[in-house]
Amino acid sequence: MSQAALILILTVGGGSGALCRYLLGLAVMKKFPTPRIPIAMIIVNIIGSFGLGILYGNVYTETLYNDALFVFLGLGFFGAFTTFSTFSVEAVQLIMDNKYQHALIYLSLSIFGSIIGFLLGYFIS
């Protein structure tokens, strides 16, 4: 597959992932409008890590970055669906607001939840 085709596949996957992250975030925020911790990003990152674990467990090869499915879903969709930058902003905001306990809960749930989500996805695949 050509490099141009992989870039197009990556772009479509990334756009789809970003849109799904946004829509899921809106749905979670509608259900929980004033959470103590940023629950929407925790949910997004755990679901995304779980999905990536399933994908990785099913398509792992030495040439992942040339595999169209992995480029679309792994790098594109799940890369844009999950968000380390928003996680960082929300963690820092909790700390700046002196909500240290909430920050610790948010950091712990986000990091360990995402790793556990990935491992669960990987092992069930």
Q: Which of these, 68, 66, 88, 70, lies nearest to 79 by C-alpha position?
A: 70
Average pLDDT, the chain: 93
Q: Can you tell me the distance from the alpha carbon of 75 to that of 9, in angstroms, rounded to the nearest whole number?
A: 10
pLDDT over 90 (residue 121): yes
* pLDDT given for residue 58 in this prediction: 84
Distances (CA, A) of 118 to 56, 57, 113, 115: 9, 10, 9, 5
Any binding-site annotation on 82?
A: yes
Any binding-site annotation on 63?
A: no
Q: Can you tell me the distance from the alpha carbon of 45 to that of 94, in angstroms, rounded to the nearest whole number?
A: 18
* pLDDT given for residue 1 in this prediction: 82
Q: Radius of gyration (Cα) for the chain, nearest Å?
A: 16
* pLDDT given for residue 6 in this prediction: 93
In the predicted model, what is the mean pLDDT of residues 38-65? 87
In the predicted model, what is the mean pLDDT of residues 88-96? 97
pLDDT digits 0-9 by tens, 45-58: 999 999 999 998 88
In the predicted model, what is the mean pLDDT of residues 65-81? 89
pLDDT over 70 (residue 62): no
pLDDT over 80 (residue 66): no
How many other C-beta atoms are found inside a 10 Å radius of the C-beta of residue 99? 15
Q: Is pTM beyond 0.85 here?
A: yes
* pLDDT given for residue 61 in this prediction: 60
